[in-house]
């Protein structure tokens, strides 16, 4: 199961899901969260526990629709935090956790990256890039990301309390030059899960390694999943 980032959707995974299925020999499920991509629009404000809520609400629906009994989960950026909650809340049926560029806390580098992105999206035509994938929902998608992560009420959010509930093997991927988080994020994820964890700092990569170094990420994820059989 693939969980997309704060500005993402299924289409923005591009070729990754198909390649992962082809090379990994697994069914891959990627879906648009409510308000993103091809899903229905929403006009509410994200709650402060939206990351945990995604696991609580979506897994039962996905399981009912697709009929799977067990799963492995991979999440990118905020999807990585959601993946942690999936693995923790459904520990009895989760075989593996993979995080990519996941935030584990809100740090100064996270906020600085968001402020820079916010300024970039104020440039003429910048929002058009999001409209290609989210249509009329683009402004909501952008505001949900910026306003939530820069909110003072969200400043103390972290995965610290939920990570020890993750018992399955974990692969933690993080780009060497990630714009939104230091190595404190993958180190916390790998260090606090109770199952065996592998940490990879990807040389030369930024925030989207699965796009920047797709072949390497596919190979590494498939190696990890194969080792579990």
Do residues 188 and 160 touch, judged by C-beta distance below 8 A? Answer: yes
Per residue of the chain (229 residues), give pLDDT as tens.
999 999 999 999 999 999 999 999 999 999 999 999 999 999 999 999 999 999 999 999 999 999 999 999 999 999 999 999 999 999 999 999 999 999 999 999 999 999 999 999 999 999 999 999 999 999 999 999 999 999 999 999 999 999 999 999 999 999 999 999 999 999 999 999 999 999 999 999 999 999 999 999 999 999 999 999 7
- Residue 106's alpha-carbon distances to 29, 113, 114, 223, in angstroms, are 28, 11, 11, 31
For residue 88, give the 3-state DSSP assignment.
Answer: helix
Residue 186 to residue 181: CA distance in whole angstroms: 9
Burial of 4 (0-12, 13-18, 19+ CB in 10 A): buried
Do residues 80 and 107 touch, judged by C-beta distance below 8 A? Answer: no
**CATH number assigned to the domain covering 2-226:** 3.40.50.1820
Alpha helices (H) in the chain, listed in sequence order: 16-24, 50-66, 78-89, 108-120, 126-134, 138-149, 184-192, 209-212, 214-226
Model pTM?
Answer: 0.97
């Amino acid at each position: 199961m693939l969980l997309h980032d704060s500005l993402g959707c299924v289409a923005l995974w591009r070729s990754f899901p198909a390649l992962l299925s082809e090379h990994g020999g697994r069914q891959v499920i990627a879906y648009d969260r409510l308000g993103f991509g091809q899903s229905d629009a929403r006009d509410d404000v994200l709650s402060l526990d939206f990351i945990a809520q995604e696991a609580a609400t979506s897994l039962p629906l996905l399981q009912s629709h697709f009929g799977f009994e067990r799963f492995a989960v991979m999440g990118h950026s905020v999807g990585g935090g959601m993946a942690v909650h999936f693995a923790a809340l459904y520990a009895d049926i989760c075989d593996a956790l993979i995080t990519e560029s996941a935030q584990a806390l809100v740090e100064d580098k996270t906020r600085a990256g968001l402020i820079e992105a916010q300024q970039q999206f104020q440039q003429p035509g910048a929002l058009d890039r999001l409209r290609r994938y989210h249509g009329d929902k683009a402004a909501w998608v952008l505001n949900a990301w910026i306003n939530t992560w820069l909110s003072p009420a969200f400043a103390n959010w972290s995965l610290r309390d939920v990570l020890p509930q993750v018992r399955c093997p974990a692969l933690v991927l993080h780009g060497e030059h990630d714009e939104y988080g230091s190595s404190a994020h993958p180190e916390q994820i790998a260090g606090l899960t109770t199952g065996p964890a592998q940490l990879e700092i990807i040389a030369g990569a930024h925030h989207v390694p699965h796009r920047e170094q797709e072949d390497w990420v596919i190979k590494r994820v498939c190696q990890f999943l194969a080792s579990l059989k």
